[in-house]
Homo-oligomer: A and B are copies of this chain.
Amino acid sequence: MSCEFQLAEELREQGFRVTPQRAIILETISHQGGHLSVQQVYNEARLRLPGLNLATVYRAVESLHEAGLVDVYSTGTEPVRFSLRDPDNVHGHMICRCCGADNKLEAPSLHVIQDHIQSSYGFEVDTHHLLLEGYCPACLEKD
């Protein structure tokens, strides 16, 4: 049973249909690794499925995101990027508004935030998509 098969099964269990488009998009994201843009996935996946439409990639990514298979993140200034969700490497991002640096936010910190918000408001923060903006140590020093 391949890794892709498991992913497809997971998708089906979440109530989504497993179409060739979604399967190939999922495999592409899985094989490429890292944070991909819609265009990158589109270019790559279209080699194997020539009729593939860009709108389909956008919708597929949204579905995969809803199914919890893919993490999406957007800094607001750049095109949206996303990656296969890796349960062993949950992390957030701290983006410096000054230099644009993207620092990794480790899981323990995510849980501090999640726990605090949970106990204060009963709201469950999704730790798979946390993005904080502000100023990195280097830029703070430069002032």
Contacts and interface: CB of A to CB of B under 8 A. Distances in A.
A51 interface: no
A72 to B, nearest CB: 8
Contacts of A76: 72, 74, 80
Interface stretch (A9-17, A18-26, A125-133): A125-133
A124 B113 contact: no
A55 B137 CA distance: 33
A4 to B, nearest CB: 26
Interface in A55-101: 72, 74, 76, 80, 94, 96-97
Given A94-B117, A117-B94, A123 B136 contact: yes
B113 A116 contact: yes
Contact of A109 (B116, B122, B129): B116
A117 B108 CA distance: 11
Contacts of A135: 123-124, 126
A96 B136 CA distance: 28
Nearest to A76: B74
Given A109-B116, A109-B120, A109-B121, 14 more contacts: A72-B76, A74-B76, A94-B117, A94-B121, A103-B121, A105-B117, A112-B116, A117-B134, A122-B136, A123-B135, A124-B135, A126-B133, A126-B134, A126-B135
